[in-house]
Structure 1
């Protein structure tokens, strides 16, 4: 078993509505509270970062599964949405919705369409981030599959 280490450094020089900095591998960004939560909205924030982690993990996992299954695709894109609830000063990340758009080449039939849908569902449940947040944040999948003419 291999144990991988990832290191993050954050600097927060001020109070609630100030701007900090975050560095983790290739990720270097400013961080602050988003404007939706009465913050300055500079750089990124925890809500976007969790959504980004879940989305990148999902799309990479799906692409790897498609490759292993030898399912040829012409295009794979993803839009994801995070739903965060704020009530009485308590902020809760409620749900992430992944909307993968898979384009298969001309000539793809029912077999390839079913496989693409199955792999999207498997990638969602297999993704490391989805497994890490399971039981705390609901993850929903809305897959669109197209076949080029």
Structure 2
């Protein structure tokens, strides 16, 4: 693959209770284990960062698909829910639910756009076959 963009980040400290910074300095934050996992909470964690990145990336793919199909989207949104749970045989795994809201677009057309975005999105392509990802179109 020939890269058109490269993002770099460094984690220091104790992983989930440490610090992350990107090479350009745009993201520079402490990370904390969420309270639900026995940590202190109060700061981003890897799952929150993944959810934010996936939502934004998928929304961008959705916008691109709509432009290609000459469909005008207004007030669209994509929410990402990332769950962390135990994996059979040990370790942990992720699951993702993407909630797509396309006001004014008929449900069948909205689902077709979301399905096409799921084929285009780099996050979807990276996770396909590795974790469960559900794409749902909702009214809100």
* TM-score, structure 2 normalization: 0.81
1:33–1:45 contact (8 Å) kept in structure 2? yes
Matches within 5 A, 1:90-105: 90-93=91-94, 95-104=95-104
Please state whether the residue corresponding to 1:143 is helix, strand or coil: strand
Cα displacement string for residues 2-55 of structure 1 (whole angstroms, at most 9, x for unaligned residues): 42322212221xx577x4221224222211211111111132111112222221
- Structure 1 residue ranges without an equivalent (≥5): none
Match of 1:81 in 2: 81
Match of 1:142 in 2: 136
Distance 1:81 1:16, change over 3 A: closer
Matches within 5 A, 1:33-52: 33-52=33-52
Distance 1:67 1:137, change over 3 A: same
Match of 1:128 in 2: 122
Larger Rg: 1
Aligned counterparts of 2:36 and 2:92: Cα–Cα separation in 1: 12
Cα displacement string for residues 50-93 of structure 1 (whole angstroms, at most 9, x for unaligned residues): 22222111111001111222211221012221222137973221
Match of 2:56 in 1: 56
Aligned counterparts of 1:139 and 1:132: Cα–Cα separation in 2: 11
Match of 1:11 in 2: 12
Instruction: Tell whether 2:14 aligns with 1:23.
Output: no
* TM-score, structure 1 normalization: 0.76
Instruction: Tell whether 2:111 aligns with 1:117.
Output: yes
Runs ≥4 residues deviating over 6 A: none
Please state whether the residue corresponding to 2:111 is helix, strand or coil: helix
